[in-house]
Amino acid sequence: MPSAPAVLIVTLDGPAGVGKSTLAARLAGELGIAFLDTGAMFRAAAYTLGEGAWDWSQGIVQQKLGEFEFTLRGSGKNTELLLGGQPLPQEIRSERVGLWASQLAVVPSVRAYMKMAQIFLGQTTSLVAEGRDMGTVVFPGATHKFFLDADPEERARRRCRQLEAQGKPADFAKIAENIRQRDDQDRNRSIAPLKPAPDAVLVDTTHITEGEVLETVLRVVRGG
């Protein structure tokens, strides 16, 4: 019997505002595979369950998440992540929901559910998977692993530029504070904290363009 074609998994981890989502979409396009924005999964859960869900009992959270079903459609920049067959609402992208997601992400039953759902998606679909714990916890056997980092100030500036490009108000001080708070929560939680996998390639994006980051990563993926 012919063996099933191997699934390619490339992991991109790093802090908020480092440029993972843009890179994931472009890299997936170059490789002709889908990308998985795992932050969007946490954001969708936080938005659907609402503020304060991180204080609910583990049993209730588990029961609510049991009703969730994430699926992927398409590839490259046209990849769509669906929840219950529906596209995720734009509201999940707000700074407020980002902070909720970071708070919800410390809850053990939430992490367990997300890990299971992400592994399930990666069993049948080649992926560029981006998040905080892709290379360390969810896909420890990934084909290639990258950890992106950049100065917090530069990340806040990029986030401001992104919001301004969308015609939205951008308050640098507030965004920098939000990034600081999320960095602190994401790096210091006890389960699956943000850190590079021992075998990840580290890329500091502070002083290089998006195009240069893509080239660096592609060189490793294609050469390896």
Q: What is the distance between the alpha carbons of residues 121 and 125, in angstroms, rounded to a whole number? A: 6
List CB contacts of 100: < 8 A, sequence separation 6 or more: 43, 46, 47, 51, 53, 54
Given a contact cutoff of 8 angstroms between Cβ atoms, the answer to whether 144 and 218 are in contact is no
**Torsion angles phi and psi, residue 191, rounded to 5:** -100, 130
Nearer to ligand DC, 3 or 121 (CB): 121
Binder to ligand DC among 19, 121, 133, 136 (CB under 6 A)? 133
16 interacts with ligand DC by CB under 6 A: yes
Distance, in Å, from the CA atom of 162 to the CA atom of 147, rounded to the nearest integer, reads 22
Q: Map residues 43-82 to x or -, x wherever contact with ligand DC holds by CB under 6 A.
A: x---------------------------------------
* Closest C-alpha to 159, from 22, 12, 46: 22
Q: Specify the residue, 187 or 219, whose C-beta has the smaller distance to ligand DC.
A: 187
- CB 82 → ligand DC: shortest distance, Å? 17
Site string for ligand DC, 89-108 (x = CB under 6 A): ---------x--xx--x---
Residues at the site binding ligand DC, with contacts judged by CB under 6 A: 16, 38-39, 42-43, 98, 101-102, 105, 131-133, 182, 186
